[in-house]
A and B are shown apart, each in its own frame.
Chain A
Amino acid sequence: KNEVEQSPQNLTAQEGEFITINCSYSVGISALHWLQQHPGGGIVSLFMLSSGKKKHGRLIATINIQEKHSSLHITASHPRDSAVYICAVRSGSGTGNQFYFGTGTSLTVIP
């Protein structure tokens, strides 16, 4: 049983396309993170959400707590956006947190 489901698993887009990656979860959460992992392996936290919507440059993340669903959008995609995007949910309160991860979406943006 996967606490976090991501779709699609793989995505190929042409440069300039609008991209959406979806994440559904089944546990109670204190926050949801969108992570980016480049081929070199390093992980960067793009967003941390507990409600609503956040925007950073061409990236937008939304969360619907009632539906237990989040989306990551990339507008005007660029080859440098090619990476694996991972949805992670953080469960717990206070100073103790559990994490559950999606299996990742591998994005390739073609020039």
Chain B
Amino acid sequence: DSGVTQTPKHLITATGQRVTLRCSPRSGDLSVYWYQQSLDQGLQFLIQYYNGEERAKGNILERFSAQQFPDLHSELNLSSLELGDSALYFCASSATQGVSYNSPLHFGNGTRLTVT
């Protein structure tokens, strides 16, 4: 058990809709990372938050946004959903304190999003 909790496990929704994915990091971890894994693109880094602030951005679409709350849980919001957004969305956490670049990653089990 990584200690990282993602909800929901599965989500089925229609095109044009908006969904929110939730991630609770491992206790004490300050960094949360979001990744998307689709069949045709593999794993891609979306965005990182550290202690409530956005710290790095990857291939995140403008229709997607995220935030990290004071209790360190994070939410990834996906709007105007398209068929191509169907994917596994993972979050990972790292760093109990200080810099996070040399801290191990702990992954959640992912949320499988299906857009129909």
Binds A, one of B12-20, B75-83, B104-112: B104-112
Contact of B105 among A48, A96, A100, A104 (CB under 8 A): A48
Q: Which of B30, B101, B106, B109 contacts A97 (CB 8 A)?
A: B101
Q: Does A99 contact B (CB under 8 A)?
A: yes
Q: How far is the CB of B53 from the nearest CB of chain A, in Å?
A: 8
Give every chain A residue within 8 A of B35 (Cβ-Cβ).
99
User: Are B112 and A97 touching (Cβ within 8 A)?
Assistant: no
A103 to B55, CA, bound (A): 25
B42 contacts A41, C-beta separation under 8 Å: no
Q: For residue A96, which residues in chain B have a CB less than 8 angstroms away from its CB?
A: 48, 50, 55-56
- Interface residue range, chain A: 20 to 34
For the complex, give the distance between the alpha carbons of A67 and B105 in Å. 24
B residues 40-75 in Cβ contact with A at 8 Å:
42-45, 48, 50-51, 55-56, 58
Q: Inside 8 A of A90's CB, which chain B residues have their CB? A: 101
Q: In the bound complex, what is the Cα–Cα distance between A73 and B19 (angstroms)?
A: 40
Name the B residues within 8 Å of A30 (CB-CB): 101-102
A93 interfacial by beta-carbon distance below 8 Å: yes
Instruction: List the A side residues contacting B44 at CB < 8 Å.
Output: 101
Minimal beta-carbon separation of B86 from chain A (angstroms) = 14
A100 contacts B107, C-beta separation under 8 Å: no
With A and B bound together, what is the CA distance between A93 and B102 in angstroms?
9
17 interchain pairs (CB within 8 A)?
Answer: A30-B101, A31-B102, A42-B109, A48-B104, A86-B42, A95-B51, A95-B55, A95-B95, A95-B99, A96-B50, A97-B31, A97-B55, A98-B56, A101-B43, A101-B44, A101-B45, A102-B42
- A residues at B contact (CB < 8 Å): 30-31, 33, 35, 41-45, 48, 50, 86, 88, 90, 92-104
